[in-house]
A and B are shown apart, each in its own frame.
Chain A
């Protein structure tokens, strides 16, 4: 009962936010993007134990696939991109929305398929090799796309602007990301409660044993990663249309920005928990906005230092810390010593 109220309150807050802070709509949209990519990173990183540094590949690929699909429905892509900014972006509202819709679906499917293919190649790698391999995929994709003239080369692609009022456009994209974020959260909440969730947790805990217990580990890994890729691909597609102008290395395949932020968000919030990525993403976003405002010029250094501090000193994250201090909140039974008062952290530890 209490939980339902909490969820409803959170839902109302997320819907009301852009009305309360209309000047921060773009920043809030970025926060939702961070929540989505953190949640999906945690699917493989936290729940399955495969730390990917290359999930940004799906973000960039989704962005490109959606943009190219959207453009190709109206113009010849080569002509359009070679005229980048040269003026041919007359899109009617119907063309715009059908381009966005079909493009996003195409992006999601393309990313899911490429996750399966990459998974076949890379899922034999464990631990840091998997991280480096996926990082390599993301960097290589960025470099190759920036040399591909048909999709605009290093200059990237410029998409049509939102047909209609500019503020309306901001709201439109906020609710787009908000919907995707909430849908992802609900989907993952359900997924982690099924046998599937148990299976990927088993892979994380001991892959050899999981295999011995009859779990087809490769199949589970491929499915998990392609679901994550599908969602990140959608997010990338929406981002492309929101940004209007994007280029390969700094925006689409932004390995050292969003690509590493999502990992830090998850670590900050708590790996392998449902709420961890969400809380971590919100916290990280606030910290990022603060550093951007107060450390002018040095914001990147501050952010890099934040990454190091999080990883080195606070790796269990907020949820991990809470679990340590208040294990009973997580449904873990704490054996009490006879005669001692319940629900005190130090006693819980002593009892263990």
Chain B
């Protein structure tokens, strides 16, 4: 308790520390936005809630890490490579599992993807061992306010990559034929089929794209933080927090919520200690759910 009060008073006495925490939160938030955007895409288009989202992220991280340590490829090249590999993995998982659960009730897809997540996490554990891994970019770090605020350039590069990937995906969704087909399918799958859109292809494409986005996010994470086979659940939960808080089909909301949870988590970790980070993410999920529930209850409705 004393420690918590001490941490809070530190924040009040040295306001610059707040800037540092906000900055770290924004940098992490950029990654969360990517994973959550992928989840919102799959959720909106094919009504599948993917609990293996975080495991895709971690798999992308391991793909990038493997290429760097075993083949000596430059670390930044890992991002497009992870994108490509996870595209393939996503496609295989779509064909094997997801295709058969789209039409079923939502609990089925939730449970099936949970199983997929277990298989992925355990396979990674066997293939790459349970140690945490990371790649270090040997960039400097920018310091401000007598070293109270520091901004590692590696993290900045990671965040910029994440943002540019997000922009690329958004432009793709808005402009390309495939993006249009995806949006049409999301609005009304049956009507889209009638109009001659091959919805099966759209679904496969969407799920693979989601996996690929997550893979790229993982490749960024391995550059600036660290990965471990069982870290996936945390990212899945965070994606759910963000999408639930933002509401479906609300892109600005997803971006705002992503940065918001990044910042809140950093403040929480600073105040309560780093070992509470996972707990904070989950508690945020519960708070968001209960808040949304209270909102619905006012209209005598339920969250479904």
Residues on A facing B (Cβ under 8 Å): 51, 53, 121-122, 124-129, 131-133, 136-137, 139-140, 143-144, 146-147, 256, 260, 263-264, 267, 297-298, 300-301, 303-305, 307-308, 311-313, 315
Closest Cβ–Cβ distance, residue A330 to chain B (whole Å): 22
The answer to whether A301 touches B126, judged by C-beta atoms less than 8 angstroms apart, is: yes
Task: Please measure, in the bound complex, the distance between the C-alpha atom of A87 and the C-alpha atom of B119, giving whole angstroms.
Answer: 40
Within 8 A of A (CB), among B129-148: none
CA distance A133 to B284 in the complex (A): 11
How many angstroms between the C-alpha atoms of A304 and B93 in the bound complex?
A: 14
Complex-state Cα separation, A53 to B49, whole angstroms? 14
Beta-carbon contact of A308 and B112 below 8 Å? yes
B75 within 8 A of A: no
* A136 in complex: contacting residue of B104, B123, B286, B293, CB < 8 Å: B286
Contact assessment for A131 and B107 in the assembled complex, using a CB-CB cutoff below 8 Å: yes
B5 at the interface (CB under 8 A from A): no
**Residues of B106-120 contacting chain A, CB below 8 A:** 106-108, 110-112, 114-119
Indicate which residue in A51, A133, A303 contacts B118 across the interface (CB closer than 8 Å). A303
The answer to whether B86 has its CB under 8 Å from any CB of chain A is no
Q: Which residue of A lies closest to B294 (CB)?
A: A124
Residues of A within 8 A of B108 (CB): 311-312, 315
- Chain A residue at minimal CB-CB distance from B240: A132
| Chain A nearest CB, measured from B271 CB (Å) | 13
Inter-chain pairs besides A127-B107, A307-B111, A308-B112, 4 sampled, C-beta below 8 Å: A124-B296, A132-B240, A304-B122, A307-B118
Judge whether A260 and B118 touch: CB under 8 Å: yes
5 residue pairs bridging A and B, Cβ less than 8 Å apart: A125-B289, A132-B110, A136-B285, A311-B112, A312-B112
Residue of B nearest to A139 (CB): B282
Per-residue interface assignment for chain B, residues 240 to 279, with 1 indicating a CB less than 8 Å from any chain A CB and 0 otherwise: 1000100000000000000000000000000001011011
B204 within 8 A of A: no
Q: Is the interface of A mostly helix, strand, loop or mixed?
A: helix
Contact A136 B282 (CB under 8 A): yes
Which residues on A sit within 8 Å (CB–CB) of B106? 127-128
Q: Which of B115, B276, B283 is within 8 Å of A311, CB to CB?
A: B115
Q: Which residues of B contact A127 (CB under 8 A)?
A: 105-107, 304
Alpha-carbon gap, A124 to B49, bound state (A): 19
Closest to B116 in A: A308
> Any chain A CB within 8 A of the CB of B303?
yes
Q: Is the CB of A313 within 8 A of B100?
A: yes
Complex alpha-carbon distance, A190 and B262, angstroms? 50
By secondary structure, the B interface counts as helix
Report how far A129 CA is from B126 CA in the complex, Å: 32
Residues of B within 8 Å of A121, CB to CB, are 286, 290, 293
In the complex, A127 Cα to B297 Cα: how many Å?
16
- Compute how far the CA of A304 lies from the CA of B112 in the bound complex, rounded to whole angstroms: 9
Across the interface, B97 reaches (CB within 8 A) one of A51, A137, A308, A315, namely A308
With known contacts A131-B107, A311-B108, A300–B282 Cβ distance under 8 A: no
Given contacts A304-B118, A308-B115, A311-B111, contact A125 B126 (CB under 8 A): no
Contact status A140-B111, CB under 8 Å: no
Output the least CB separation between B85 and chain A (Å): 19
Say yes or no for B302: interface residue by CB 8 A criterion. yes
Q: Chain B contacts of A129 at CB under 8 A?
A: 244, 289, 303-304
Instruction: Given A143-B282, A300-B122, A312-B97, decide whether A133 and B110 contact each other with a Cβ distance below 8 A.
Output: no
Please name all residues of chain B whose beta carbon is closer than 8 Å to the beta carbon of A133 when the two chains form the complex.
285-286, 289
A309 vs chain B, min Cβ distance (A)? 8
Q: In whole Å, how far is B203's beta carbon from the nearest beta carbon of chain A?
A: 15
Tell me how far the C-beta of B19 lies from the nearest C-beta in chain A, rounded to whole angstroms: 28
Instruction: Evaluate contact between A128 and B279: CB separation under 8 angstroms.
Output: no
Q: Once the chains bind, are B278 and A143 in contact (CB under 8 Å)?
A: yes
Given A136-B286, A139-B282: A263 touches B276 (CB 8 Å cut-off):
no
Q: Is the CB of B100 within 8 A of A312?
A: yes
Whether B275 pairs with A128 at a CB distance below 8 angstroms is no
Q: CA A50 – CA B141 in complex, angstroms?
A: 50
Chain B contacts with A in 157-212, Cβ cutoff 8 A: none
Residues of A contacting B107 in the complex (Cβ-Cβ under 8 angstroms): 51, 127-128, 131
A122 to B122 CA separation, bound complex (whole angstroms): 31
Given A124-B303, A315-B108: A147 in contact with B275 (beta carbons within 8 A): yes
A87 to B160, CA, bound (A): 55
Q: Is the CB of B114 within 8 A of A260?
A: yes
Q: How far is the CA of A53 from the CA of B114 in the complex (A)?
A: 11
B119 & A147 in contact (Cβ 8 Å cutoff): no
A303 to B119, CA, bound (A): 8
The 10 A-B residue pairs whose C-beta atoms are closest, nearest first, are A126-B304, A307-B115, A304-B118, A143-B279, A304-B119, A308-B115, A300-B122, A140-B282, A128-B106, A311-B112
**A125 touching B293, Cβ below 8 Å:** yes
Shortest A80–chain B CB gap in Å is 22
A residues less than 8 Å from B49 (CB atoms): 128, 132
What is the chain B residue whose CB lies nearest that of A49?
Answer: B107
In the complex, whether B23 has a CB less than 8 A from a CB of chain A is no
When distances are taken between beta carbons in the complex, the residues of chain B under 8 Å from A298 are: 126
B101 within 8 A of A: yes
Cβ of B217 within 8 Å of any chain A Cβ, yes or no, is no
Inter-subunit contact B119/A308 (CB<8 Å): yes
